[in-house]
Amino acid sequence: MNRLILSIESSCDDSSIAITDVDTLELIYHKKISQELEHSVYGGVVPELASRLHAEALPKILSECEEWFSKLVAIAVTSTPGLAVTLIEGVMMAKALSIALDIPLIGVNHLKGHIYSLFIEKETVFPLTTLLVSGGHTQVIEVKSLDEMEVVASSMDDSFGESFDKVAKMMGLGYPGGPLIEKLAHDGDRTKYNFTIPLSQSPKIAFSYSGLKNAVRLAVEKGSESDHKDIAASFEHIASAHITQKLKKYFKKVKPINFAIVGGASANLYLRTQIEELIKPHNSKLFLSELKYCSDNAAMIGRVAVDMYHKKQFTPLDELTSSSRSPL
Ligand code: KG4
Ligand code: ZN
């Protein structure tokens, strides 16, 4: 008899549910309803709107999962970090299911989820150094195991993905900005605007995007719409060069056997190519999530939950809360 885990993700603007087989890792069911269109007119995620859309979408997806209810052995849910008003939608659903089906809860850290997006329907590979680039985070994380993860570098202000969202908003392109800027940059001249690489004089391995964002804002204000593709290309180039410059410093100190890029913004092909070039001489093995699992989804939450289930890491009902900010 199959043992299955149902997992729920609602930390931002994607409503998603997955069902994963605890023993074979098979992803039995996976669905995601994105709210990009609804938020696009505002140039970013509106938390209250996102919360209301989760309240509509999650029950709709759940109704497709009833045939597996009798085989469920746990309910997993993203509990942190994320938007407080959207996390609570998933957490409430998870609690209701846990009580109704009398099975344990597993509260999952969303960042661990992004790391485990590498291992959907696969065995884990550790140790692993991970670059996490998403809308909320730009971090380098050293991963030894499920429970031993250390953030060794992070952003001091905006994240990589967020800076794409803000630049897209400045250009009136909509949301999410990452894919829109990447597309626009494709035909642009990467050398046209000589933006400064952030923190290039600092020995610290850390990230910062607010200065670059402001430099881009000035260029957008000064130029016309016909300049946007060159601004986008130059911005994408410098935003990525900032990461590769800091990773170069990291690789001088540490020689990771395995290196991975995860998170929604890891879908950026220019960044991927730059990092591939960077790690070539170091003989590290590069791991990338499948494109469909880069952005937020419940399959990655379910994959973490399988490992937590085997370690009996359950969360008591009254201890499962949604928390907007929480370290790994
Ligand atoms: O991981 P994710 O789905 O949500 C968070 O946990 O934040 O990441 C979403 C972020 C957004 O900021 C989006 O603009 C960015 O990832 N993103 C990209 C690309 N695709 C998505 N950024 C740059 N290039 C892309 N191709
Ligand atoms: Zn995410």
pLDDT tens by residue, 210-228? 999 999 999 999 999 999 9
User: What gap in Å lies between CA 50 and CA 175, rounded to an integer?
Assistant: 14
* pLDDT digit string, tens, across residues 185-199: 999 999 999 999 999
Give the integer Cα–Cα distance in Å for 246 and 254.
Answer: 12
Domain count, the chain: 2
Q: Is position 184 within any domain? A: yes
93 & 234 share domain: no
Residue 326 lies in a domain: no
- As given in the structure block, the two tokens for residue 79 are 């509990």
Number of Cβ within a 10 Å radius of residue 237: 21
- For residue 320, the model assigns a pLDDT of 87
Query: 324 lies in a domain?
Result: no
pLDDT of residue 248: 97
Indicate whether 278 and 132 sit together in one domain.
yes
Is the distance from CB of 137 to CB of 240 less than 8 angstroms? no
What does the alpha-carbon distance between residue 235 and residue 169 come to, in Å, rounded to a whole number?
A: 14
Instruction: Please name the residue that has the structure tokens 């885990």.
Output: 5
Which residues have CB under 6 Å of ligand 1?
A: 12, 134-136, 161-162, 164-165, 176-179, 182, 263-265, 267-268, 295-296
Q: Is residue 327 part of a domain?
A: no
Supply the pTM of this predicted model. Answer: 0.95
Report the C-alpha gap between 164 and 123 in whole angstroms: 33
Q: What letter would DSSP give residue 227?
A: G
Taking the C-alpha atoms of residue 159 and residue 204, their distance in angstroms, rounded to an integer, is 17
Instruction: Specify the pairing of strand 4-9 against strand 72-80.
Output: parallel
Question: What are the tens digits of pLDDT across the range 8-31?
Answer: 999 999 999 999 999 999 999 999
Summarised one tens digit per residue, pLDDT across range 229-258 is: 999 999 999 999 999 999 999 999 999 999
Supply the pLDDT for residue 41: 87
pLDDT at 105: 98
Q: Indicate whether 108 and 12 sit together in one domain.
A: yes
* Structural tokens at position 194: 């000589």
Question: What's the whole-number mean pLDDT along residues 77-96?
Answer: 96
pLDDT of residue 158: 96
Q: Are residues 91 and 138 in the same domain?
A: no
Whole-number Å distance between alpha carbons of 322 and 183? 35
Hey, what are 118's tokens? 């590498």
**Does any domain span residue 21?**
yes
Answer yes or no: are the C-beta atoms of 228 and 220 closer than 8 Å: yes
Beta bridge partners of 315: 105
Residue from 295, 297, 324 whose mutation best tests the ligand 1 pocket (most atoms within 8 A of CB) = 295
DSSP 71-84: GEEEEEEEEESS-H
State the Cα angle at 117 between 319 and 41, rounded to 5°: 85
Provide the residue range defining the domain that includes 10: 4-120+293-319
Strand, coil or helix: what is 6? strand
Q: Ligand 1 atom closest to Cα of 11?
A: 6
Max CA pair span of the chain: 65
pLDDT in tens, 132-186: 999 999 999 999 999 999 999 999 999 999 999 999 999 999 999 999 999 999 9
Where residue 68 sits, what CATH number does that domain have?
3.30.420.40
Kindly state whether residues 172 and 256 are assigned to the same domain: yes
- Closest ligand to 113 CA? 2
d(CA 115, CA 132): 8
Same domain, 60 and 133: no
The token pair that represents 152 in the structure block: 């060794």
Ligand nearest to the CA of 32: 1
By the CB criterion, residues less than 5 angstroms from ion ligand 2 are 134, 296
75 and 166 assigned to the same domain: no
Residue 59 is predicted with a pLDDT of 98
The Cα 52–Cα 57 span in angstroms is: 9
- Ligand 1 pocket test: pick from 14, 164, 213 the residue with the most ligand atoms within 8 Å of its Cβ: 164
Query: How many distinct helices (H) and strands (E) make up the chain?
Result: 10, 10
Same domain, 141 and 104: no
Distance (Å, rounded) from C-alpha 173 to C-alpha 183?
A: 11
Is residue 282 located within the same domain as residue 302?
no
Task: Work out the average pLDDT over 117-135.
Answer: 97
Q: Give a yes or no: residue 303 inside a domain.
A: yes
Q: Which residues in 181-193 are b (16+ Cβ under 10 Å) and which e? A: bbebbeebebeeb
How do residues 26-77 score in pLDDT, each as one tens digit? 999 999 999 999 998 888 899 999 999 999 999 999 999 999 999 999 999 9
Confidence class of residue 310 from pLDDT cuts 50, 70 and 90? very high
- Residues whose CB is less than 8 angstroms from the CB of residue 44 and which lie 6 or more positions away in sequence, other chains included: 165, 169, 175
pLDDT value of position 102: 98
* Ligand having the closest approach to the CA of 112: 2
